[in-house]
């Protein structure tokens, strides 16, 4: 049976319904994880849970220790990662409260420790990253969203930006020209690191605001926080359906 890990993003620093049996503070060659890994029972099976931004939420996207997080999940026995991401909507279909299960991504980040293949190596390794998300895991998320009656898109291109600031109108226009549908700050290097360690990986993205220039209103944290509160119940029920399946 596949051992699942849930990577909680903004708005999901705790997994309601998770009966915690133990917490793991693992040493990694890359330093500490964002938070301890919680091990427990959720939807009738044992799962691992890690808060990407720490608990409480205090680690900004450009300072998340992605290498430590992914390494520790692998060390703890994870075989597949269900990553939850709060994103901005670029494509007109990606309104607030809409879900997207992206099939592709473009990395616009810089300066992040983005690979395990660094330092004193015996040989150079190049992973195939043509399709950054595991298709079978994507299909499970898509099926769960459909069964839950959520508004969702089964495909999309995720733009990973540096943060922690939000993007300018001109930057979003560029991302749209590049073919991006949603924009977030934590999709990379997380996905690539999971591939390097041969972990299955898929993203469940919740749109929490229109991207810059896609609305006449100013983007506020209050708006984003409300969208997170409104959407987290559906996130948890979707994850529970995947795990129960």
Domain boundaries, the chain: 4-86+96-103+130-156+186-208+219-244
Task: Name the nearest CA neighbour of 90 among 71, 75, 105.
Answer: 105
User: Does residue 174 have a pLDDT over 70?
Assistant: yes
pLDDT, greater one: 13 or 12: 12
Query: How do residues 216-226 score in pLDDT, each as one tens digit?
Result: 777 777 888 88
Q: pTM higher than 0.95 for the full model?
A: no
Query: How do residues 195-205 score in pLDDT, each as one tens digit?
Result: 999 999 999 99
CA-to-CA distance for 153 and 141, rounded, in angstroms? Answer: 11
Residues 6+ apart with CB under 8 A from 241: 43, 144, 147, 148
H helices then E strands: how many in the chain? 5, 11
Binding residues for substrate: 185, 209-211
The pLDDT confidence band at residue 11, using thresholds 50, 70 and 90, is: low
CA separation, residue 148 to residues 55, 89, 93, 144, 185 (Å): 28, 21, 19, 6, 27
Binding residues: 10, 52-53, 185-186, 209-211
Domain 4-86+96-103+130-156+186-208+219-244 has CATH 3.40.50.1580: yes
Average pLDDT (149-153) is 96
Binding residues for phosphate: 10, 52-53, 186
Query: How do residues 33-82 score in pLDDT, each as one tens digit?
Result: 999 998 988 877 889 999 998 877 788 999 999 999 999 999 999 999 99
pLDDT, greater one: 9 or 70: 70
């Amino acid at each position: 049976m596949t051992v699942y890990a849930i990577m909680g993003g903004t708005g999901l620093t705790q997994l309601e319904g998770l009966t915690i049996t133990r917490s793991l503070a693992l040493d990694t060659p890359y330093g500490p994880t964002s938070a301890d890994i919680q091990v427990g029972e959720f939807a009738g099976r044992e799962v691992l849970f890690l808060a990407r931004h720490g608990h409480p939420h205090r680690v900004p996207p450009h300072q998340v220790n992605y290498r430590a997080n992914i390494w520790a999940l692998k060390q703890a026995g994870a075989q597949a990662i269900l990553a939850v991401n709060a994103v901005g909507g670029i494509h007109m279909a990606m309104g607030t409260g809409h879900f997207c299960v992206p099939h592709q991504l473009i990395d616009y980040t810089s300066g992040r420790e983005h690979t395990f293949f660094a330092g004193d190596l015996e040989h150079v390794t190049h992973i195939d990253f043509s399709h950054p998300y595991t298709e079978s895991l994507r299909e499970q998320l898509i099926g769960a969203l459909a069964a839950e009656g959520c508004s969702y898109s089964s495909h999309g291109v995720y733009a990973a930006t540096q943060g922690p600031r939000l993007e300018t109108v001109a930057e979003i226009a560029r991302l749209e020209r590049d073919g991006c549908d949603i924009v977030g700050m934590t999709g990379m290097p997380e996905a690539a690191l999971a591939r390097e360690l041969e972990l299955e990986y898929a993203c469940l993205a919740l749109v929490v605001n229109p991207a810059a220039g896609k609305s006449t209103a100013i983007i506020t944290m209050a708006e984003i926080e409300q969208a997170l509160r409104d959407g987290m119940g559906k996130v948890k029920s979707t994850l529970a359906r995947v795990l129960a399946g």
